[in-house]
Chains A and B, each alone.
Chain A
Amino acid sequence: MINTESNNGQPRLQAVDLSKRYEDGVLALDSINFSVYPGQVFAMLGGNGAGKTTAINLFLNLIEPTSGEALIQGISSHREPLKAKANVAFVSENVMLYPNFTAMQNLEFFVRLGGKTECGTDELRAVLRRVGLPDEVHHKRLKGYSKGMRQKCGIAIAILKDAPAILLDEPTSGLDPKAGFDFIRLLESLRDEGKAILMSTHDIFRAREVADVVAIMNNGRIIMQENASALAGKDLEQVYMQYMAGHDLEVAV
């Protein structure tokens, strides 16, 4: 495995020998290790069942690790979940907020839930504008929003939480090219603000576009981890297919 650590401060997200075996015996994560530093986008690439979402769920303490630790700002999300989760924002694959609430009301609720007590209407509106939602839809109920608009709301919630780390679970899945493009620009601006971003995706194109570090996952293992600079000039799709083929061969042998 290639060491991808940069010396950009302490890692904000860190997986240390993180494993998860479900009750049905399936080993979803097999002792993975990685770190995400401030101002870094870490992309976990892999097919369905590779273990990407399991890793994110472990950081959110939605499931318990079988062994190892998922650390947020050095705090174990399993041992001190509330303290750890105060330092992370999350955007899911298919952001489904409260359909009877407007974008403003959804934001207001999740921002307060995130621990921010003072958040004015102007701030909410500014963030909604920043993610690309025009003023005229701010007071519309979410039941009338498209998937892309909901996704923008989701990222607005993450921005408002102003946590040092952000977890993204397949954030560009199902988005049209324009929405996907906008989303990536937003991620870049968040990275520039110094956020540590862990993104699971099977969109090689987007991963290539935005990631500082790419990890290819298969069957619960990280089978390749490279800095973007090391991948420069390489066809990531080809690299991905080679690694996957190699690993499948290894498994078959």
Chain B
Amino acid sequence: MLRTIIDKEIRDLLRSTKFVYTFAVCAVLILLSFYIGASNYQTSVTHHEAARAENLRQLEGLTDWLNVEQHRIFLPPQPLAALVTRISNDIGRTTEVEARGELTAHDSRFNEEPIFAVFRFLDLRFIFQIVLSLLAILLGYDAISGEKERGTLRLALANAVPRWKYILGKLIGLFSTLSVSLLVALAIGCLMLPMMGVPMGGGDWIRLVLIIVAGLLYFGAFLSLSVFVSTMTQRTSSSFLVLLVFWIVSVLIIPRSAVLLAGRAVDVPSVDELASKKASFGTDLWSDFRSALADFSVPGEKDPEKLMTALNNYMDSLTTVRDNQMDAFALRLNEDRYNRQVQQQALAFNLARISPAASFSLAAAELAGTSLSLKDRYRQAAAEYQKTYASFMKEKTGMNVGGRMIIMKIGDDEKNEPIDPTELPAFVYNQPQLAGSIGNVTTDTGLLVFFNLIFFAAAMVAFNRYDAR
């Protein structure tokens, strides 16, 4: 019996003009998102390679490591960020590294090419979150009320069919048809990735599969919801209207409202405010530095070279003290801001999670490695690199360079041999561990499963009481 209903639902859907057109549009959009993603990735790789080469080229001809300035590291393009861009185009990708001092990333993709910020990329997350949820509504809003309007429901229920079987069969039929159709389009899209030169590792494929699974769960939630709403209404037009309102609230209003509410609930000082405090503190330290510098003296020492060495050492120690004080101050401010930010984000995300759209979006971004934590991970990787870079420079120059330290040299001891820029340690950015990412998306995928179950259970209960006359 169940199989008969499922089979009928599949055949009915496949033969409907509505399905043919809407699916064609979705398939084209899915393929387009893969194509655009792969193209963007290729462009990003080209830009990244060019930037790295230019960075090393600037060091060519230098004969002293002390003259190395504006050494930059770049966040490498991530394959999955091509499909789920999230914040990857908004955060700074370039960081100027010195052996000391605070690091700041700048030059985001949207900063460099603002036109793309106006018309954002069509990525897979967008297709799932916006287009496929609408597809689910479009194909599910008349599941029951449409059958009633057509008169087929009365005829079907005139038979010895348990209602729960009927609605379960309908839902399985709808979901399986649409999922399989979408999976075909997604599989073709996946094939495009290696063909277009996107280096997908084993972990990347697992992540992509999990993103698709989360997408299908999200799609299933909207489909169950659509069936549920169609059991609550007697007319298809009412069902469609209710679902449209729910879609707007769920996809457009709740996530944004959650961020606004969290912003009001938890106050996070702005970057400018922090920069102003740091600048003020830095000015005080600089003043102390100059005062301390004025006190420099080496009683009895007449040899200028020894005096210069002593001065450099003195300044180095002062700079270290100043840096330590500045670092401690900045760390305190940054930590305070970071903690507040984490609190604010947690509140915003938890509030937003009442919407399946937010749950899916958060899960997809986490799996693609383009969630908010991307910025922190890049910052941490840059900080780690700074330590490696500082050790390298210390080894090459004998001192901790950077941090507005004045290096005074006397005599002409410049070597004629140029430095080898390729000796510079390479910056490596690693994706978060797969197990960690999976652990982080447990809540959101669990919620998506919950939405599926709760909407389906509600549809069953409502259909049992549905006036099928």
A residues adjacent to B (C-beta < 8 A): 53, 57, 60, 62-63, 81-83, 85-86, 88-90, 92, 94-101, 105, 109-110, 112-115, 154, 157, 161, 167
- Name the residue of chain B whose CB is nearest to the CB of A115: B160
Which 10 residue pairs spanning A and B have beta carbons closest together? A90-B158, A96-B151, A100-B15, A86-B160, A112-B4, A82-B160, A85-B160, A113-B159, A109-B8, A96-B150
Binary interface encoding of chain B residues 348-371 relative to chain A, with 1 for a CB under 8 A from any of its CBs, else 0: 000000000000000000000000
Task: Give the size of the chain B interface in residues (CB under 8 angstroms).
Answer: 23
Pair A63/B467 contact, Cβ less than 8 Å: yes
With contacts A94-B151, A95-B151, A100-B16 taken as known, whether A105 is within 8 angstroms of B158 at the C-beta atoms is no
Q: Tell me the bound Cα distance from A161 to B161 in angstroms.
A: 14
Within 8 A of A (CB), among B428-469: 467-469
Most chain-B CB neighbours within 10 Å: which of A60, A105, A167? A60
Pair A90/B4 contact, Cβ less than 8 Å: no
B155 interface contact, C-beta 8 A: yes
Most chain-A CB neighbours within 10 Å: which of B1, B150, B151, B155? B155
Q: Tell me the bound Cα distance from A110 to B160 in angstroms.
A: 11
Pair A83/B160 contact, Cβ less than 8 Å: yes
With contacts A101-B11, A109-B4 taken as known, whether A114 is within 8 angstroms of B155 at the C-beta atoms is no
B5 interface contact, C-beta 8 A: yes
**A-B pairs under 8 A by CB, number:** 72
B12 interface contact, C-beta 8 A: yes
Specify which of A63, A83, A97, A99 is in contact with B155 (CB 8 Å cutoff). A97
B residues adjacent to A (C-beta < 8 A): 1, 4-5, 8, 11-12, 15-16, 150-152, 154-162, 467-469
List 18 A–B pairs whose Cβ atoms lie within 8 Å, in order of A's numbering.
Answer: A57-B469, A60-B157, A60-B158, A62-B157, A62-B468, A63-B469, A81-B160, A82-B160, A82-B162, A89-B158, A90-B154, A90-B158, A94-B151, A95-B155, A99-B150, A110-B156, A112-B4, A113-B156
- Name the residue of chain A whose CB is nearest to the CB of B151: A96
With contacts A83-B160, A85-B159, A86-B160 taken as known, whether A60 is within 8 angstroms of B154 at the C-beta atoms is yes
Q: Tell me the bound Cα distance from A10 to B150 in angstroms.
A: 36
Q: Tell me the bound Cα distance from A86 to B159 in angstroms.
A: 6
Q: Tell me the bound Cα distance from A112 to B1 in angstroms.
A: 7
Q: Tell me the bound Cα distance from A190 to B79 in angstroms.
A: 69
Query: In angstroms, how far is the closest chain B Cβ from the Cβ of A37?
Result: 21
Taking CB atoms, residues of chain A closer than 8 Å to B161 are: 82, 113
Pair A113/B162 contact, Cβ less than 8 Å: no
Taking CB atoms, residues of chain A closer than 8 Å to B468 are: 62
Taking CB atoms, residues of chain B closer than 8 Å to A112 are: 1, 4
Q: Tell me the bound Cα distance from A63 to B468 in angstroms.
A: 8
With contacts A60-B157, A62-B468 taken as known, whether A113 is within 8 angstroms of B1 at the C-beta atoms is yes
Pair B155/A90 contact, Cβ less than 8 Å: yes
Taking CB atoms, residues of chain A closer than 8 Å to B150 are: 96, 98-99
Q: Tell me the bound Cα distance from A124 to B73 in angstroms.
A: 74
- Name the residue of chain B whose CB is nearest to the CB of A100: B15
Q: Tell me the bound Cα distance from A20 to B75 in angstroms.
A: 73
Known: A60-B157, A85-B160, A101-B12. 18 other contacts (CB 8 A): A57-B469, A60-B154, A60-B158, A62-B467, A82-B160, A82-B161, A82-B162, A85-B158, A90-B154, A90-B155, A92-B151, A98-B12, A99-B150, A101-B15, A110-B159, A113-B4, A115-B160, A154-B155
Q: Tell me the bound Cα distance from A190 to B348 in angstroms.
A: 68
Taking CB atoms, residues of chain B closer than 8 Å to A97 are: 152, 155
- Name the residue of chain B whose CB is nearest to the CB of A81: B160
Taking CB atoms, residues of chain A closer than 8 Å to B11 are: 101, 105
Most chain-A CB neighbours within 10 Å: which of B8, B158, B159? B158
Query: In angstroms, how far is the closest chain A Cβ from the Cβ of B25?
Result: 20
Taking CB atoms, residues of chain A closer than 8 Å to B12 are: 98, 100-101
Q: Tell me the bound Cα distance from A81 to B8 in angstroms.
A: 23
Taking CB atoms, residues of chain A closer than 8 Å to B162 are: 82
Pair A62/B154 contact, Cβ less than 8 Å: yes
Pair B158/A88 contact, Cβ less than 8 Å: yes
Query: In angstroms, how far is the closest chain A Cβ from the Cβ of B468?
Result: 5
Taking CB atoms, residues of chain B closer than 8 Å to A96 are: 150-152
Q: Tell me the bound Cα distance from A96 to B150 in angstroms.
A: 6
Pair A115/B159 contact, Cβ less than 8 Å: yes
Query: In angstroms, how far is the closest chain A Cβ from the Cβ of B349?
Result: 43
Q: Tell me the bound Cα distance from A99 to B151 in angstroms.
A: 11
Taking CB atoms, residues of chain B closer than 8 Å to A154 are: 155
Query: In angstroms, how far is the closest chain A Cβ from the Cβ of B405?
Result: 79
Q: Tell me the bound Cα distance from A109 to B7 in angstroms.
A: 9
Pair B151/A114 contact, Cβ less than 8 Å: no
- Name the residue of chain B whose CB is nearest to the CB of A57: B469
Most chain-B CB neighbours within 10 Å: which of A98, A99, A100, A113? A113
Taking CB atoms, residues of chain B closer than 8 Å to A81 are: 160
Q: Tell me the bound Cα distance from A196 to B468 in angstroms.
A: 24
Query: In angstroms, how far is the closest chain A Cβ from the Cβ of B85?
Result: 39
